[in-house]
Structures are given as structure tokens and as C-alpha cells.
A and B are shown apart, each in its own frame.
Chain A
Amino acid sequence: MTASNSASASSSDSPMIEVEGLNKWYGDFHVLRDIDLTVARGERIVVCGPSGSGKSTLIRCFNHLEEHQQGRIVVDGVTMTQDVKRIEQIRRNVGMVFQHFNLFPHLSVLDNCCISQIWVQKKPRAEAEKTAMEFLERVQIADQAHKYPGQLSGGQQQRVAIARALCMRPEVMLFDEPTSALDPEMIKEVLDVMVELARDGMTMLCVTHEMGFAKTVADRVIFMDQGQIIEQAPPETFFNNPESERTQLFLSQILGH
């Protein structure tokens, strides 16, 4: 699948996301420290690190679910400010998938996929439903379109959540631990969808502990600890010759058994 590039305001060789000197505090707690990061178009990045290292907070800054205090974030040529219109513009271009799916339980699967097309993109309902069915087809759940989220399994719900995000035809997809809340037998069906998405050239930022996914799909793996980026490298280098001791320790802990 090709992500639609029509909405992009900037030239296609500029970076998708640019972060400079990003700092964020929760009260006195310094969660993100001097983050610099550039994500190229079509690049697939996996972010990993111990819990509380700030990796989720980082990607939540990219669509302003979290507000940062210092630094600069540019998404698809649009600089993140307090301006509500800009935030809305950025959010249209950024899709997000959450750990706990966050599907709207009072809306059917189809309506979950239509709601933003109708109210944000102002599409006619028929057109919105057509797009929604298209993406539900892609994540192989079109037959459940008229059910409610509560009637689906976790894996099915997460696939719907991916379809819901794709319906806005975003330029970049953020995945916040998409498989952590799933039972083991359902992880694969979600990862399959993500791998296919990556093959189609979608720009992706995934916070995940699925190292198999990182090895097959990622162009770059980023390791974070204590709010900072410790190491970033292509997967072969990252897994075979990690430089920093923290990375080695982390890898030995999650791959060791």
C-alpha cells in the first residue's frame, strides 16, 4: 500500500519528523533529556528500552498528546506550537496505535473507522464507509465491521485500531507498545499487519519489545534509558555489536531466556 502523499505541504525529500533539543518534565521529574532525532520518509524505526525510560512519552510528543517544554518538533514540515490549528494539522498526518487499543466501545467497528473521516476530514458518509471497508479489508477484519469492539478479541481490536488510524491516510504511524496487552497467540496477527504496512513503505515509529519484528522490519533501532537516546543503529549492528554497556545489559535481559 502506498501512503498518500498528496496532503504533504513540503517537498518529499525533507525529513518526516525532525526533533531538536527536546526536553520534557513531569513536575520536577526530567522525563526526556536533550533528544535529537530525524526520521526520514519511509523509514521504519523501533524504539526500545526499559520501562519508564521515556520511549512512550517521546512518541506521544509527536502528535501533542504530551506537551514538551523545550526544543523543536517538526512533523512533515509543520512545526509543533501551541496553535490549535497546527496541532490539528499534525494530528491528521500522524496515525497512532495504542497499547490498550482505545477503540470507542459505543461505536461499531465501522463507525470507529469513519468518525474522524466524517468529523475531521468532512467526507460524506458513503465515501467514509468505503474507505473504512477498504482498510478493514487490508487488516482482514472486514467481516466484523458491524460488530462492537467489546465483541472482538484483543488481536482483532488492535487490527481495527490500525485500520482506524490508516483511514485518515496518515504520513506516519506511531505504535505505542501495540502488542504488550495481547495474549501470546494474538501477537502474530497484529505483527503480520504491521510487517505488511512496513513493506508498503509507511513511515513507522514503533515502541515495542518484539525484537523479531525489529530484526525483520526496522531500518534503525533506538535504545532509550532514563529519558535519553543511548544508542541507535541498524538492527544487525544493534543486536550483534551493541556499543554501550546499558544496551548490552538490556539485550541480555530480554533475549537471555
Chain B
Amino acid sequence: MATRTEMIEARRPPDMRRGVVGWLRANLFNGPFNSVASLLTIVLLAMVLWPLAKWALIDADWLGSTREACTGEGACWVFISARFETIIYGFYPDAARWRVDLVLTMMALLIAWLAIPRLPAKRWVGLFALVGFPIVAYFLLLGGHFGLEAVPTREWGGLMLTLTVATVGIVGSLPIGVVLALGRRSKMPLVRSLCVVFIEFWRGVPLITVLFMASVMLPLFVPTEVEFDKLLRALIGIMFFWSAYMAEVVRGGLQAIPSGQEEAAKALGLGYWRRMGLIVLPQALKLVIPGIVNTFIALFKDTSLVLIIGLFDLLAIIRAGLTDSNWLGFATEGYVFAALMFWIFCFSMSRYSQYIERRLHTGH
């Protein structure tokens, strides 16, 4: 038997790239079935995309203030641009709109800070986003203190209202959900069964019935003299509803943490709340970030349901615009724009969740 005396150096693989033609052959025309399918798809795409682009971009009218500005064959985006301010701020008084701008800017900065992994002090920024920011936003938006003019919630609307509902829903439902998830794993039978009933109840009914309940039943539950804000009622309903979904997401994370982690923490002498707060929850929550973000997306989409109980969110403002007798017949433009707005928010969130998921898979 011969013995190798020198080790073999690593070599580069032979060049396998085959250019554009090679790529096309491998990915589109590998076999007769695929070739036909590809050709059909290309024809179909051309038939749909070209007229769409023509309508939405090439032949569209963009600027103006009345419907007379729309002369082309395509979309009349004037319908949107003419009422853009209302779509963003609703009926918020002109003079106070800087407050909305300030809150939205703060929100954007906070989200960016939390979403970019490189930035430091995540814990403190996160704590501020969950506790400090809502308080600041509350005083800024509602006013009535510190010399700010009060703006009642019935004047809120548009994108600003949509974001308010979404933010309150997100900030409120996550902590309630965590508590419910822990309660569902409790050894105390009463605590456990209460949490199970609470979770399963909200998960079993449609959000719209919850909103109905919030708008027609909640006022009956409080003493007659208490005035109960319509937006607040909707927010309570939304928070409870989504906290049940959040609880199930968090529970999934808790179940994925090996029992050894809790045992090791016990062996070190840590008590229940320390074990949860320092060892189990940090790992479990990190594990389910994608699930949490997906719940956020669902929550964000469902904020549009407040339209049904008469709040003027982004979608409702646009729908209200469509009933304006000067602007009849632009339903397509209106709903396509609404869809685009919601889509941008949801798609970015879903991309972020996928990015996090990949990061979780590859490292820690």
C-alpha cells in the first residue's frame, strides 16, 4: 500500500456557467411541457401588464384640482392628489397637523432603529417605543394639555387614524398576549382555564362581531353617566381580539424552548419571574419574531374593518371621497390606491419578517 506524502491543494471547480441561453434553457424551456407553459405565461403577462401600465402610468392624469383635469384614457390620479391631505390627516385641524407629522416621524425613527440590527441599545429604545412613545403620542395627538389645542378623536382620520389603531393594537396586544401565554401554561387550574377560555373565545369569533360588540354592547357595560369614546371602544376590542392570537404565537415559542433551560435556571436558584424574564421569554420571543410580525401584518390589514363601525380610517376616507357627487366613477382609482398603500406597509413588514427568519436560521 502506498502512502501519500504530500497533501492535495484545494482547486476551483470547472466553469459551469452557460450564459443567458443556458439559463433560459435550464429554467424556462427544460422539456416540452415547461416550454409551452412558459410561452403561455409570457403571452398572458403581456396581455395583462401592458394595458395595466398604459392605464396606470402612461395614459394617466396626475395633477389638477377638479375632475376636468382628467382628459386622458387612463387612470385619473387627480382624484387622489386633490384630496391627498385628507387621506393622510383626516379632519385633523390644519393648524395642528405638525403634531401628527411629529408623531409619525418619531414612529418612523423608532421602527427604523429597532429594525436595523446594527444599531445599539435595542432594549432601551424598545422600552421607549412600548411605554414612552405611546404616552408622548397620546398627549400630542389628543392635545388639551401643555397649551396644545384639544382635537377630539372624531376629527381623526385617514392614514393617521389607521396607523394609530395599528400601533395601539400592536403595543397593547403583545404584552397581554405574553401574559395570556404564560397563564395558559400555568400549573394553577383556574388561571389556566381562564386563559384558555379567553383565548379561544376571541379566536373563535370574527373581528367584525367584536367591533359590533365594542360599539353597541360596551356602552351598556359601564355606568350610564360615563362617556365612552368610540375610537377607544374599538381599540379595546381590537386589543383583546389580537392579544388572543399573539398569545398563541408566544405559546408556540415557549413550547420550543427545551425544558433543560428552565431546569438549569432552577438549579441556579432563580425564581419563577426571573426564570421567565431572564431565560425563557427572551429566547421564546426571539424565536417567534416572524410569527409576531405576521400577526402585526394581519392586525394592520384588519384595521380597515373600523370602517364598518363608522370610523374614518384610510379606506373609509377614500370610500367617502367616492360618494362625493363631483367625483363619481373613480372607484377603481380609489381602491387601487388604498390597496397600494396597505400593500406597501404589509409587504415591507413581511419582507422584514422573512429577513429575520433567515437570520434566525443561520445564526443566533
Contacts and interface: CB of A to CB of B under 8 A. Distances in A.
Contacts, number: 63
Interface stretch (B10-18, B135-143, B265-273): B265-273
B268 A116 contact: yes
Interface stretch (A97-105, A224-232, A243-251): A97-105
Contacts of B363: 150
Max chain A C-beta neighbours (<10 A), residue from B258, B260, B267, B286: B267
B282 to A, nearest CB: 5
Given A105-B283, A115-B278, A148-B364, A98 B270 contact: no
A63 to B, nearest CB: 6
A168 interface: yes
Contacts of A103: 264
B267 A63 contact: yes
Interface in B75-134: none
A120 B267 contact: no
A144 B271 CA distance: 28
A168 B269 contact: yes
A127 interface: no
A205 B271 CA distance: 24
A65 interface: yes
A55 interface: no
Contact of B364 (A100, A105, A164, A165): A105
A96 B266 CA distance: 10
B149 interface: no
Interface stretch (A42-50, A86-94, A182-190, A214-222): A86-94
Contacts of B364: 105-106, 148, 150
B163 interface: no
B263 A120 contact: no
Contact of B268 (A84, A148, A164): A164
Nearest to B261: A102
B269 A102 contact: no
Interface of A: 63-65, 84, 88, 91-92, 94-96, 98, 100, 102-106, 115-116, 119-120, 148, 150, 161, 164-165, 168
Interface in B340-364: 363-364
A91 B266 CA distance: 8
A160 to B, nearest CB: 12
Q: Specify the main secondary structure of chain B where it touches its partner.
A: helix
A119 B267 contact: no
A88 B271 contact: yes
Contacts of A88: 269, 271
Interface residues of B, number: 20
Contact of A102 (B260, B271, B282, B286): B260
Interface of B: 258, 260-261, 263-271, 274, 278-279, 282-283, 286, 363-364
Contacts of A96: 264, 267
A168 B269 CA distance: 9
The 4 A-B residue pairs with the shortest CB-CB distance, nearest first, are: A102-B264, A116-B268, A102-B260, A91-B269
A64 B263 CA distance: 10
25 contacts: A64-B266, A65-B267, A84-B271, A91-B266, A91-B268, A92-B269, A96-B264, A98-B263, A98-B267, A100-B258, A102-B263, A104-B264, A104-B265, A106-B283, A106-B286, A115-B270, A115-B279, A116-B270, A119-B270, A120-B270, A148-B364, A150-B363, A150-B364, A165-B267, A168-B268
Contacts of B266: 63-65, 91
Nearest to B279: A104
A64 B269 CA distance: 10
Contacts of B261: 102, 104
B260 A119 contact: no
A84 B270 CA distance: 11
A65 B266 CA distance: 7
Contacts of B269: 88, 91-92, 116, 120, 168
Contacts of A164: 268
Contacts of A150: 363-364
Nearest to B287: A106
Contacts of B267: 63, 65, 91, 94-96, 98, 165
Contacts of B286: 106
